[in-house]
Amino acid sequence: MNAAAKTAIVLGAGMVGVSAAIHLQKRGWRVTLVDRKEPGSETSFGNAGVISRGSILPVAYPGLLWDIPKILAGRSRSVRVDPKALFGMLGWAPAFLRTATKTENRRIAGVLNALLALCLEEHEALMKEAGATAHLTKAGWLKLYRTEEGFAGSAFEREVMDELGVAYRVLDAAEIAALEPNLQPIYARGVHILGTASVDDPAAVCRAYAALFENRGGDFIRGEVSRLEDDGGTARVALNDGAILEADAAVVAMGPWSAEILKSVGVAIPLFHERGYHRHYRPAGNAVLTRPVNDAEGGFVLAPMAAGIRLTCGVEIAPEAAGPSTKLIDGVTPFAQQAFPLADCLDETPWLGRRPSLPDGLPAIGRAPGRNRIWTCFGHQHVGFTLGPVSGRLLAEMMSGDETVIDPQPYNPARFG
Ligand SMILES: Cc1cc2nc3c(=O)[nH]c(=O)nc-3n(C[C@H](O)[C@H](O)[C@H](O)COP(=O)(O)OP(=O)(O)OC[C@H]3O[C@@H](n4cnc5c(N)ncnc54)[C@H](O)[C@@H]3O)c2cc1C
């Protein structure tokens, strides 16, 4: 079949969907991108903007089981579990907790690393084509430790980075001050992850990629997807205004909402949401932050953005229907204020985003199990902004029957089938 004649509908215009749409377009597909909002309006809007080469470990770290009582008692700075979410967690938490061993962490890191190794070059290629390079800073990012114990406690991460060839430099207090003179001198140790970059406005980057897609002849439709169909020969996408779109293939890239829509074609994937929040601050005086910093013990990230210093927090597990809670972000705010001179808060209410996560910490990239015309590209948890372009490329290569840049098998969504 002539690939140039093929048509695809990509559902979801976050970083992952927009990137997949561009890569399909590059391979001769006629692509329609659908989203109920403007591109880059959900999770891809409010993240910390780190193109994070070094985020190789899954969230379920070895030793997590011992921390569960502290988390459930509300004494963790990085994780909050709403008690009302506990019943719903039964669908994914056992498989998630099984990855909390060194052996499983190493296996997952190896698989994720294959994608992460390409993240920056794939972003840079799209940024050049989209005229978005002005948003990029290539200064790495800093993981900071207030105590020697905290630093020593993270040795496993450095061991795995060494094994996988992730470049970093260990810093003492003076070296941290040399890199970021406006941080308060409260850190004993730092790890400067090299090969990592950051952007000053993730939504603007996503929208620049979407504009590139449209300028190259791609169609963007604003609409709410309500149902999928796959009769083996055609993919059909129903919108809730009654419209039915048809194509040779449909790609589910709806981030946190992907699993819900897949139910309409009988596909069950145990996706869950790791909520996270952000708020912006004006830096006090002339204080400057050059790159994102992660205070491992404080449980927050501070990232310099066009809109101000963006404070993001860790993970909240809450029922879908639960409204936003400020507990987690309020809890880390005093620690962030100790770290950097933050002046006025620029947001009345914090932004809430949902990291789309799968129990094994790996994305679902490939053909939907048992479906001929439906493909998936979601579940990028804490690194979806980072991985959008490389995942989109891998998916487009698979759909086009081309040689793939890496082995796609470990990301196959059929592992949940
Ligand atoms: C606080 C926080 C900090 C983070 N920091 C980083 C970071 O520094 N680096 C990093 O790489 N990642 C980070 N992440 C994770 C990253 O933001 C996500 O993994 C990524 O944005 C997911 O992109 P996506 O395209 O899969 O989903 P989304 O960006 O959520 O896109 C999904 C799209 O689907 C659309 N949609 C949903 N349902 C429907 C429907 N029924 N009909 C039509 N459209 C629909 C939505 O409108 C949305 O536009 C962070 C996340 C959070 C919450």
- Closest residue CA from atom 2 of ligand 1: 47
Q: What share of the chain is helix, strand, coil (3-state, %, to 5)?
A: 40, 25, 35
74-104 per-position pLDDT tens digit? 999 999 999 999 999 999 999 999 999 999 9
Nearest-atom index, ligand 1, CA of 13: 49
**pLDDT at position 276 over 80:** yes
Q: Exposed, middle or buried: residue 401 (CB in 10 Å: 0-12, 13-18, 19+)?
A: exposed
pLDDT at res. 69: 97
Residue minimizing CA distance to atom 35 of ligand 1? 12
102-155 pLDDT, tens digit each: 999 999 999 999 999 999 999 999 999 999 999 999 999 999 999 999 999 999
Residue-range domains of the chain with CATH: 1-62+101-134+200-268+359-417 (3.50.50.60)
Residue (of 247, 258, 244, 278) closest to 347 by Cα position: 278
d(CA 318, CA 60): 17
Q: What is the mean pLDDT of the chain?
A: 97
What's the gap in Å between 326 CA and the centre of ligand 1?
20
Mutation test of ligand 1: which of 34, 56, 193, 385 has the most ligand atoms closer than 8 Å to its C-beta? 385
Contact 78, 315 (CB under 8 A): yes
Q: Is 243 helix (H, G, I), strand (E, B) or coil?
A: coil
Q: How many CB atoms lie within 10 A of CB 11?
A: 27
Question: How does pLDDT run across 337-351, given as a tens digit for each residue?
Answer: 999 999 999 999 999
How far is residue 279's CA from residue 264's CA, in Å, rounded to a whole number? Answer: 36
| pTM (2 d.p.) | 0.98
DSSP H or E run through 51: strand 50-51
Give residue 195's pLDDT.
Answer: 95
Look at residue 37 and tell me whether its pLDDT is greater than 50: yes
Cα-to-centroid distance, 49 and ligand 1 (Å): 12
d(CA 165, CA 117): 9
CA 122 – CA 390 distance, rounded (Å): 6
Predicted confidence (pLDDT) at residue 1 exceeds the cutoff of 90: no
Share of the chain above pLDDT 70, in %: 99
pLDDT band for 417, please (50, 70, 90 cuts). confident
Q: Which one-letter amino acid corresponds to residue 388? A: G
Question: Smallest Cα–Cα separation from 252: which of 410, 384, 365?
Answer: 365
- What number of other Cβ atoms are within 10 A of residue 217's Cβ? 9
Ligand 1: which residue has its CA nearest to atom 37?
254
Alpha helices (H) along 73-192: 86-89, 93-98, 102-116, 119-130, 148-153, 155-164, 173-179
Closest-CA residue, ligand 1 atom 41, reads: 225
Q: Whose CA is nearest to atom 44 of ligand 1?
A: 35
The Cα–Cα gap between 258 and 12 comes to 9
| CA 312 to centroid of ligand 1, rounded, Å | 15
Q: Is the pLDDT of residue 3 over 60?
A: no
Measured CA to CA, the distance from residue 200 to residue 48 in angstroms comes to: 9
pLDDT at 2: 45
Cα distance between residue 314 and residue 382, in whole Å: 10
Q: How far apart are CA 10 and CA 395, in angstroms?
A: 11
Residues with CB under 6 A from ligand 1: 12-17, 34-37, 41-44, 47-50, 52, 224-225, 253-257, 276, 278, 312, 353, 355-356, 378, 380, 382-386
CA of 204 to the centre of ligand 1 (A): 14
Whole-number percent of the chain with pLDDT over 90: 98
Q: How many CB atoms lie within 10 A of CB 87?
A: 9
pLDDT at position 239:
98
Distance (Å) from CA 271 to ligand 1 centroid: 13
pLDDT band at 5 (very low <50, low <70, confident <90, very high): low
* CB 10 within 8 Å of CB 33: yes
Q: What is the mean pLDDT of residues 21-47?
A: 98
In ligand 1, which atom is closest to the CA atom of 354? 53
- Residue of 9, 19, 22, 47 to test ligand 1 pocket, by largest number of atoms within 8 Å of CB: 47
Token digits of residue 109:
């890191």
According to the model, what pLDDT value does residue 140 have?
A: 97
Region 193-199 average pLDDT: 97
Q: Give the mean pLDDT of 388-410.
A: 98
- The Cα 339–Cα 302 span in angstroms is 9
